[in-house]
Amino acid sequence: MKSVYFDNNATTRVDPRVVEAMLPFFTEQFGNPSSMHGFGANVGSALNRARGELQSLLGAEHDHEIVFTSGGTEGDNAAILSTLEANPRRREIITSAVEHPAVLSLCTWLEKNKGISVHLIPVDSKGRLDLDAYEAALSDRVAIVSIMWANNETGTIFPVAGLADKAKAVGALFHTDAVQAVGKIPIDLKSTAIDMLSLSGHKLHAPKGIGALYVRRGVRFRPQIKGGHQERGRRAGTENTPAIVALGKAAVLATRYLAEENTRVRALRDRLEKGLIQRIGNSFVTGDPDNRLPNTANVAFEYIEGEGILLLLNKEGIAASSGSACTSGSLEPSHVLRAMNIPYTAAHGAIRFSLSRESTDDEVDHVL
């Protein structure tokens, strides 16, 4: 049976060129980059090369603004916790109602256990941030604004550069969870006021368990993992060298494929959406029609239950994902679709198809 993987926002296949680049770092190049001898030095220069590769993908000013992490969740946690620690007098956070749990559940925890006030900025029915509510929440009590660059479920892109300018005006730091944006849309950090950005390797054809946090030069940073002096004292622990080399290679490839992502992949996604809506009554695309990731289609099929659709798709060899999560026996639609006020009858049947540079015309035909 033909199989079609349209769940690339969940994770991507590691690119074979990425696997090839990382393999020597398990065997010949096994040294510890902190060692003084040649085994270490070779690996150390590979890490620096990877840092430079990330720097160019993000358009960062300096390669030492890149801190390697274990992934998106760690980057999100480190950015927020570090900022609260470095600015103890500011006790408020601004974030959106549609963030990933890596940000949202940390904020809930901080509110409950540390007395931090959290402003959850709402979105409209297309998933666009309520800019008036954002401006109203900004003040000199806010330590950090953390707003995602693009939403993982609908692909809606947020105007982070403009939001960062506004945060700067009240002296708050601006962090963006760019886990879904990196490699899909152009990013040039040096032309923005963004202070910190989190990314994750496994969303851009690198392995799971590796990521990076961009920390703009001059930002006061407090390490959340304490120990040795790795990563200039910002993240202790012997570096995951094969995975870092892999992330560097994935960054080079992502830069190379960025144009294709926004032309060929976008056209495939558009054809899939149009075809689905034409064929199936009572269905519609969710998210911002004007500002959306090129690979993501979130389609709501009204009066049908999402898990059922996924099981039947799976029988046909098609992998997608649902906007609802089965929690404690009751099917709750995702917090993202609920925040958008999508009616329950539609939110329950929302399916996310997420394509990648590996997706083909044949696959779209098969799904349609």
Kindly list the residues in this chain that would bind ligand PLP in the complex (CB under 6 A). 71-73, 100, 102, 148, 152, 177, 179-180, 200, 211
Which residue lies nearer to ligand PLP by CB, 214 or 283?
Answer: 214
Closer of 180 and 359 to ligand PLP (Cβ): 180
Report, in Å, the least distance between residue 18 CB and ligand PLP: 16
Nearer residue to ligand PLP within complex by CB, 103 or 138: 103
3-state SS, the chain, equals: CCCEECECCCCCCCCHHHHHHHHHHCCCCCCCCCCCCHHHHHHHHHHHHHHHHHHHHHCCCCHHHEEEECCHHHHHHHHHHHHHHHCCCCCEEEEECCCCHHHHHHHHHHHHHHCCEEEEECECCCCCECHHHHHHHCCCCEEEEECCCECCCCCEECCHHHHHHHHHHCCCEEEEECCCCECCECCCHHHCCCCEEEEEHHHCCCCCCCEEEEECCCCCCCCCCCCCCHHHHCCCCCCCHHHHHHHHHHHHHHHHHHHHHHHHHHHHHHHHHHHHHHHCCCEEECCCCCCECCCEEEEEECCCCHHHHHHHHHHCCEECEECEEEECCEEEECHHHHHCCCCHHHHCCEEEEECCCCCCHHHHHHHC
Q: Name the residue nearer to ligand PLP (CB basis): 95 or 180.
A: 180
Q: How far is the CB of 293 from ligand PLP (least distance, A)?
A: 11
Q: How far is the CB of 302 from ligand PLP (least distance, A)?
A: 26
Which of 210, 272 has the CB closer to ligand PLP?
210
Shortest separation between residue 101's beta carbon and ligand PLP, angstroms: 8
Residue 281: CB minimum distance to ligand PLP, A = 31
* 326 flagged as catalytic: yes
The residue annotated as part of the active site, out of 326, 362, 365, 368, is 326
Give the active site residues: 326
